[in-house]
Amino acid sequence: MDFSLSDDHRDIQSAVADLAAKFDDEYWTRHDREHLFPTEFYEAFAEAGWLGVSIPTEYGGGGLGIAAGSILLETIAASGAAMNGCTPLHLSVFGINVVTKHGGDALRQEILPRVATGELQACFGVTEPDAGTDTSRVRTFARRDGDHYVVDGRKVWISKAAESDVMILAARTSERDPDAPMKGLSIFLVDMDTPGIGTRAIPKMGRNAVSSYEVSLDGVRVPAQRLIGTEGDGFRVLLDGLNPERILIAHEALGIGRASVAAAVRYAKEREVFGRPIGKNQGIAFPLAEANARLDAAELVCRKAAWLYDRGEKCAREANTAKFLAADAGFFAADRALQTFGGMGYADEYHVNRYFREARLMKIAPVSQELALAFLAQNVLGLPKSY
């Protein structure tokens, strides 16, 4: 199999790098510090047509699949934008993918062209305070009432909820069956201006240009035609959001790692101590070389996962492996970069502390490293389920 970059992918890298370079580290540090959504950045990428890169051409997109979306986001992260730059866009790739794969034609016609142009922003509402990554424990409930569903519940850690026009929402439409815990979930497309929806920003450690929210849903009426897929079969629908999400996040982690190594190498060549550049010292050079090697290794699995998904093949093993390895490699690179800068790494001036904070998030979200390993242990190695 050949899952190396195609000429189209290399063209994407080049064009995206040129556009992302217009938004430098100072831009991202200011937006992170002041909690400002990067509107100019989002609009620039929308105007250039990048938001629809993975949306089918019949709905106004590029029709290039998850691999192309992954290259887009990896390149953005590597520009120094890190997660603050990726998150506003990646929900237009993986989140809206469930509409592409499972929405009716009328819903696709209504939603996808507007996502492709940037007119419509989407968020992804799965995680709950008491459910976390155990999607079977979702308590948000959608009760059928004529030609509507009435939804009540709470969601948490919903990125850009207040900035979004619609939310892809996971809710139960029947009570949880212990013998079939994933049955009874349904997926809806909910307009965020519907009465009964409230948002509250969650103060957090990093990636503050894009806020995360707690979302409350109290008696929210959702038209029945906004059901995505079949009622009660929502977990299968979610898989077309969750596996791509892991693949995209893995590529974003690679990008942050690349930005970190690049910054550290520049500094190691310029900074002199005891009359020599610090990069001449093996204590600096070897960790950066190791960081680069780890990123190169993780990149191969990331590419394979995207290659498999775009061909309609099973990719859960590769998606979880890619997420685990890339998150680990990206954080290792950011940590070694900060160490290379020493005390100056703690200063905002050099930006690596922002890379460090955002790379650390990748080991938690969208699934923890431990749960990725639990999946691999059970589903690849055949070990007993541990949770």
Supply the CATH classification number for the domain 238-379. 1.20.140.10
Query: Exposed, middle or buried by CB within 10 Å (0-12, 13-18, 19+), for 28?
Result: buried
If DSSP codes are grouped into helix, strand and coil, which group holds residue 61?
coil
Supply the CATH classification number for the domain 7-117. 1.10.540.10
* Tens digits of residue pLDDT in 210-255: 999 999 999 999 999 999 999 999 998 888 778 889 999 999 999 9
Taking alpha carbons only, the member of 126, 158, 107, 160 closest to residue 241 is 126
Residues with Cβ < 8 Å from 100, sequence gap 6 or more? 54, 55, 56, 59, 108, 112
* Amino acid type, 313: E
* Whether 240 contacts 66, CB under 8 Å: no
- Signed CA dihedral, 230, 236, 241, 242: sign only: positive
Tell me the DSSP string of 133-193.
T-GGG---EEEEETTEEEEEEEEEEEETTTT-SEEEEEEESSPPBTTBTTTTEEEEEEETT
* Amino acid type, 286: F
Spell out, as residue ranges, where the chain has pLDDT lower than 70: none
pLDDT at 241: 77
> Both tokens of residue 172?
């139960």
pLDDT at 166: 96
Dist CA 343 CA 260 (whole Å): 16
* Whether 287 contacts 363, CB under 8 Å: no
> Both tokens of residue 367?
């699934």
Residue 5: phi and psi, rounded to 5, are: -65, 135
pLDDT at 175: 95
Architecture of domain 122-232: Beta Barrel (2.40)
Taking alpha carbons only, the member of 89, 97, 372, 118 closest to residue 228 is 97
* Tens digits of residue pLDDT in 250-304: 999 999 999 999 999 999 999 999 999 999 999 999 999 999 999 999 999 999 9
* Whether 254 contacts 70, CB under 8 Å: no
pLDDT at 97: 84
User: Which residues on adjacent β-strands are paired with residue 170?
Assistant: 187
pLDDT at 298: 98
Residue 187: phi and psi, rounded to 5, are: -115, 135
Tell me the DSSP string of 186-243.
EEEEEETTSTTEEEEEPP-SS-TTS-EEEEEEEEEEEEGGGEESSTTBHHHHHHHHHH
Record the pTM.
Answer: 0.94
Tell me which DSSP letter residue 34 carries.
T
pLDDT at 131: 79
> Both tokens of residue 212?
């995360």
* Domain residue limits, the chain: 7-117, 122-232, 238-379
